[in-house]
Amino acid sequence: MKSAKFDHQRMVTLEEAVAALGSADGEARIMGGGQSLGPMMNLRLAQPDLLIDLSRVGGLDGIEVAGDTIRIGARVTHARIEDGAVPGVTGAYMQFVASGISYRSVRNRGTIGGSVAHADPSADWPSALLALGGDVVIAGQDGERRMPLDGFQIGPFATGLGFEEILTGFELPTLGEGAKCGYYKVNRKPGEFADAIGAVVIGSAPRVVCGATEAAPFRVAAAEERLAAGVAEISVADARDMIAAQDPGFDDYDLQIHAVALSRAVGRAFA
């Protein structure tokens, strides 16, 4: 299939891009690497009138550590993260997550900011970063603002980004040496979108995420309490109860694979 017609504007500054979003006639979309939006356009699930190309905008592909925060630009590719561009324990966790996203030829172009802004519930970064915690950095007409990753995604393909705002990066915690991370994705073939995701990060406090749902990924409070109490494993049966308690609307099969993902993610964190 081929994409429907659209106009294309190549921006040089973020201000220009924000202005273009505001003045667009019809639906305007920001394109990062285009590895999610591109297929959706080819399948005509997405038919934007205008694509705003940020590939010439400077300052979006940096990775820098500032104290206890790692700043990652929106345009950093999965491949760079897979190759170890993010330092420390946070970087090792992100490296593992990145290596499971699609295939190398997609990871070479797909970007972390694009993935989170696109907010496909089955994608890896929305769940993986929610487990890490931290902030999303957003540019708009009034300059820059931050939103916590908690609550950023509000549903499938829906986030807290305004119509005239652009996700420009992330501020993520630098995990200490003692931090534990585990990520488990259920899919039938390597590189596919997830059927279920379990993500566990135990830094200053445990954060446990159930992802690849019909809506936004969510934190599993009972699992976090259990890990905070010093327990180092969660059985599949317990994970089922913990997830079901949050009323995600799963059928029995979905509940089972999400429980397995959560249980195995905890296992990987303590491996």
Do 110 and 78 meet the contact criterion of CB atoms below 8 Å apart?
yes
Interface with other proteins, residue 2, by CB under 8 A: yes
Taking the complex as a whole, the smallest distance from the CB of residue 238 to other proteins amounts, in Å, to 31
Interface with other proteins, residue 58, by CB under 8 A: no
Q: How far apart are CA 37 and CA 11, in angstroms?
A: 18
Do 34 and 109 meet the contact criterion of CB atoms below 8 Å apart?
yes
Site for other proteins in 97-156 (CB under 8 A): 102-106, 108-109
Binding mask 190-219 for other proteins (x = CB under 8 A): xx----------------------------
Q: How far apart are CA 266 and CA 242, in angstroms?
A: 13
Taking the complex as a whole, the smallest distance from the CB of residue 21 to other proteins amounts, in Å, to 17
Taking the complex as a whole, the smallest distance from the CB of residue 30 to other proteins amounts, in Å, to 13
Nearer to other proteins, 39 or 267 (CB): 39
Pairing of strands 7-10, 50-53: parallel
Q: How far apart are CA 199 and CA 175, in angstroms?
A: 15
Q: Which of 16, 53, 171, 254 touches other proteins (CB under 8 A)? A: 53
Q: Which of 52, 70, 74, 79 touches other proteins (CB under 8 A)? A: 79
Interface with other proteins, residue 6, by CB under 8 A: yes
Q: Which residue has the tokens 């964190």?
A: 269
Strands of the sheet containing 206-211, edge to edge, are 180-186, 196-202, 206-211, 218-219
Q: Which of 12, 43, 158, 221 touches other proteins (CB under 8 A)? A: 43
Interface with other proteins, residue 39, by CB under 8 A: yes
Do 262 and 268 meet the contact criterion of CB atoms below 8 Å apart?
no
Question: If you ran DSSP here, which 8-state letter would residue 245 be given?
Answer: T
Interface with other proteins, residue 42, by CB under 8 A: yes
Interface with other proteins, residue 233, by CB under 8 A: no
Strands of the sheet containing 28-31, edge to edge, are 7-10, 50-53, 28-31
Q: How far apart are CA 83 and CA 75, in angstroms?
A: 15
Site for other proteins in 166-195 (CB under 8 A): 189-191
Q: Which of 14, 17, 18, 51 touches other proteins (CB under 8 A)? A: 51
Do 113 and 151 meet the contact criterion of CB atoms below 8 Å apart?
no
Side chain identity at residue 69, one-letter code: T
Nearer to other proteins, 43 or 237 (CB): 43
Which residues are at the interface with other proteins (CB under 8 A)? 1-8, 10, 31, 34-35, 38-39, 41-43, 51, 53, 55, 79, 102-106, 108-109, 189-191
